[in-house]
């Protein structure tokens, strides 16, 4: 199969790779980059477990080909390891018992961070709408929604 050369900045690190044109971004970050927080659930964009940022825009990495990310910036949950907002969300998820199996958690954290970056004072309906494309089969969402609202209540204007 013909390979495609790509240059992608993943979590701030420049990567040059040869990929098959059909390689999804999710497979690329997991298999080529070794970043396993990006989960593959449905592979149809419906569950949200594969959510990453491409040029700071939430993206379902199972629906995007890696070749489409040539000369782009990709951020996975691992790339937010030292991000204060992500740290706050992780703490609030822990305190609110917002996870059980953890499979959906990386995508939920990415979506929650994106929401709070745009809206520091969301109400419950806004949070639920932001999570509408993310499936969690364990928690019933109540703990997740509570965690995001708790994080919002703790935000300072400079976060």
- pLDDT (tens, 9 = 90+) of the chain, 159 residues, equals 799 999 999 999 999 999 999 999 999 999 999 999 999 988 888 899 999 999 999 999 999 999 999 999 999 999 999 999 999 999 999 999 998 898 999 999 999 999 999 999 999 999 999 999 899 888 889 999 999 999 999 997 665
Same domain for 88 and 41: no
The residue segments making up the domain with residue 47 are 4-79
Burial class of residue 134 in the structure, from the number of CB atoms within 10 Å of its CB (0-12 exposed, 13-18 middle, 19+ buried):
buried
Rounded to two decimals, the pTM is 0.93
User: Of 55, 79, 103, which one is at a domain's C-terminal end?
Assistant: 79
User: Of 79, 104, 132, which one is at a domain's C-terminal end?
Assistant: 79
Buried b (16+ CB within 10 A) or exposed e, 8-36: bbbbeeebebebeeebbbbbbbbebbebe
CATH of the domain at 91: 1.10.150.120
Same domain for 11 and 49: yes
135, 41 Cβ separation under 8 angstroms? yes
Residue 159 lies in a domain: no
Residue 102 lies in a domain: yes
Number of domains the chain contains: 2
C-alpha–C-alpha distance, residues 28 and 51, integer Å: 13
């Amino acid at each position: 199969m013909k390979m495609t050369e790509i240059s992608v900045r993943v979590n701030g690190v420049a990567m040059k790779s040869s990929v098959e044109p059909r390689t999804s971004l999710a497979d690329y970050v997991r298999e080529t980059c070794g970043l396993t927080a990006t989960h593959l659930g449905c592979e149809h964009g419906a569950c949200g477990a594969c959510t990453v940022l491409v040029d700071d825009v939430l993206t379902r990495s199972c629906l995007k080909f890696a070749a489409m990310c040539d000369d782009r910036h990709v951020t996975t949950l691992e790339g937010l390891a030292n991000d204060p907002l992500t740290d706050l969300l992780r703490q609030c998820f822990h305190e609110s018992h917002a996870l059980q199996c953890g499979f959906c958690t990386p995508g939920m954290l990415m979506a929650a961070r994106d929401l709070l970056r745009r809206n520091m004072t969301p109400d419950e309906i806004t949070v639920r709408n932001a999570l509408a494309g993310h499936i969690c089969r364990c928690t019933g969402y109540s703990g997740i929604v509570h965690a995001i609202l708790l994080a919002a209540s703790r935000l300072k204007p400079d976060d």
